Amino acid sequence: MAASSRAQVLDLYRVMLRESGKFTSYNYRTYAIRRIREAFRENKNVKDSAQIQILVNKAKRNLEIIQRQDPKFSHFC
Amino acid sequence: MLWRAVWRAATRVPSPSPPRRGLRLRGLDQSPSPSGFSDVAPPMEETVLRPLYMDVQATTPLDPRVLDAMLPYLVNYYGNPHSRTHSYGWESEAAMEHARQQVASLIGADPREIIFTSGATESNNLAIKGVARFYKLRKKHVITTQTEHKCVLDSCRSLEAEGFRVTYLPVQKNGIIDLKELEAAIQPDTSLVSIMTINNEIGVKQPIEDIGRICSSRKVYFHTDAAQAVGKIPLNVNDMKIDLMSISGHKLYGPKGVGAIYIRRRPRVRVEALQSGGGQERGMRSGTVPTPLVVGLGTACEVAQEEMENDHKRISLLAERLIEKIMNNLPDVVMNGDPQQHYPGCINLSFAYVEGESLLMALKDVALSSGSACTSASLEPSYVLRAIGTDEDLAHSSIRFGIGRFTTEEEVDYTAEKCIFHVKRLREMSPLWEMVQDGIDLKTIKWTQH
């Protein structure tokens, strides 16, 4: 797998923010958006490609978690 | 171009209605249909107004990562972890052991020292009654403090009924125990000292390292109820010389109905089991271990370990913001508990000349409490406030603000503004306040009996 390019990381960032916007709960939504922004900003100067890959994988796992919070279940709230 | 515009609309945080306009809309109404990508119809517009949640000491919402980890064990991997003969049992057991490792690594323990229970209340019962009863032939004395959680105090009371002696150490005005008094209270037949790490009502942090040092030098077991502290401040059972520790799942963004107890193995602490049965959890707590719940607890601990520093920094800033806003705009507000040895996320303020219940009623769109959830049904002022020497009237007018991982700046600002507004309004109506404004000292008044 090719190392994640800048464009791919930015794409991931955009997708994560978009998916986080779908949380129906105010607290979860604001937390997700804030935390994603903070995490990407904090790591923006990482140069080591192995480290970058680890961080990107972690972000992808978190993106899956967000996507699995199915808005259909929000009717229970 | 269209994509960009749509993306921008999607990623803009939907701005909440400004606090000044009154009640905040929450829940279903705030659901943004940002991009039109979702083919799920937006939820029905039931204008369900739900209050802001500022009571994190009572319980915390589930972190989405925790829910995600729990779901497979509620749906497909439903095996009993103690079933040894098939893969349902094996995978469930693997998950349980993984969770055990996650909990242990948060507090610096060995996984074999973690026993899963149904919550911190059961852990406290197990620690206090279990240790005291096991060593009862030669050790008949237990030490605790006056500001402990009800379950600890009640366990000690039941031990007294069995013939043990219990010393309830008083606390100083700032809520912290006096170490010299603790040393003086330890006797040759003391088996256990139980002191909570962070108090759930006033948020004070006890000097755990010092207490641990004293207890280990006097060969007394040290138990701490760390329900409010685990995952929020760094804890290490070896550095702090803790022998037993209670952990609660729903205080660190995990599920309700699960907790854990840490019981030291080196040197071994022996505990008499409270619950008899099939010998699960090393014979100390029989009963099927609820896999989904413990997986939730384990994930909550792991998430807490990652997020601890970040959360602590943020919560400290928000707490300062709240306190500054309130204290700068209102006179006669007292913060209960030591301001330094304090966990920032639990703020207990007493508003003089205002009745606590009426302030809570007035702040109906913010979920707050005065005193702990366990005692909120009674009319008496909290025993913790009484123990730190607060006057009756100030004890009645205390409110506890809780700030957690999911609390936002807007929520804190809104709470502060509403609080200031209502306190001013209630004080205008109060005859006591009028008298104080006229310079009368309330303590010199002789209230006549009619």
Percentage of the residues of chain A whose pLDDT score is greater than 90:
65
Interface membership of B377 toward A (CB under 8 Å): no
Each domain of chain B, given as residue ranges in start order, spans: 64-303, 308-436
Q: Does domain B64-303 have CATH number 3.40.190.290?
A: no
From the centroid of its chain, how far is CA A27? 16
| B364: Cα within 13 Å, side-chain hemisphere | 6
Active site residues per annotation of B:
374
- Rounded distance between C-alpha atoms, residue B245 and residue A73, angstroms: 36
B-chain CB neighbours of A31 within 8 Å are 405-406
CA distances from B181 to B95, B214, B338, B443 (A): 45, 11, 18, 32
Tell me which residue of B131, B380, B152, B350 sits closest to B244, measured CA to CA. Answer: B131
Position B45 scores a pLDDT of 44
A-chain CB neighbours of B53 within 8 Å are 27
- Rounded distance between C-alpha atoms, residue B23 and residue B18, angstroms: 9
Contact A29 B30 (CB under 8 A): yes
A31-47 mean pLDDT = 93
B residues 387-426 closer than 8 Å to A (CB): 405-408
For residue B116, the 8-state DSSP code is: E
Q: What is the pLDDT along chain B (450 residues), one digit of tens a residue?
A: 565 655 565 555 554 444 333 344 444 444 444 444 444 544 444 457 789 999 999 999 999 999 999 999 999 999 999 999 999 999 999 999 999 999 999 999 999 999 999 999 999 999 999 999 999 999 999 999 999 999 999 999 999 999 999 999 999 999 999 999 999 999 999 999 999 999 999 999 999 999 999 999 999 999 999 999 999 999 999 999 999 999 999 999 999 999 999 999 999 999 999 999 999 999 999 999 999 999 999 999 999 999 999 999 999 999 999 999 999 999 999 999 999 999 999 999 999 999 888 898 899 899 998 865 555 566 677 899 999 998 888 888 899 999 999 999 999 999 999 999 999 999 999 888 888 888 888 777 777 776
For residue A57, the 8-state DSSP code is: H
Interface membership of B310 toward A (CB under 8 Å): yes
Tokens of B210: 């010092």
Q: Report the complex ipTM.
A: 0.91
B131: CB partners within 8 A, 6+ apart = B191, B192, B221, B223, B244, B269, B270, B271, B272
- Rounded distance between C-alpha atoms, residue B346 and residue B312, angstroms: 12
- Rounded distance between C-alpha atoms, residue B255 and residue B40, angstroms: 28
In terms of phi and psi (left: phi > 0; alpha: psi -120 to 50; beta: otherwise), the region of A15 is alpha
CA distances from B277 to B79, B247, B274, B294 (A): 19, 23, 10, 20
Tokens of A68: 């699995």
A-chain CB neighbours of B7 within 8 Å are 14, 18
Tokens of B203: 């948020």
Tokens of B123: 């852990």
Position B88 scores a pLDDT of 96
How much of chain B is in helix, strand and coil states, percent to nearest 5?
Answer: 45, 15, 45
SS3 state of residue B330: coil
Give the pLDDT band of residue A39 (cuts 50, 70, 90).
very high
B-chain CB neighbours of A27 within 8 Å are 53, 61, 406-408
Q: Which residues pair with B116 in a beta bridge?
A: B260
Q: Which residues pair with B199 in a beta bridge?
A: none
From the centroid of its chain, how far is CA A14? 8
B residues 214-273 closer than 8 Å to A (CB): none
Nearest to B32 among A21, A72, A74 (CB): A21
- CATH code for the structural domain at B308-436: 3.90.1150.10
User: What does chain A come to in residues?
Assistant: 77
- Rounded distance between C-alpha atoms, residue B129 and residue B151, angstroms: 11
Tell me which residue of B59, B64, B68, B54 sits closest to B26, measured CA to CA. Answer: B54
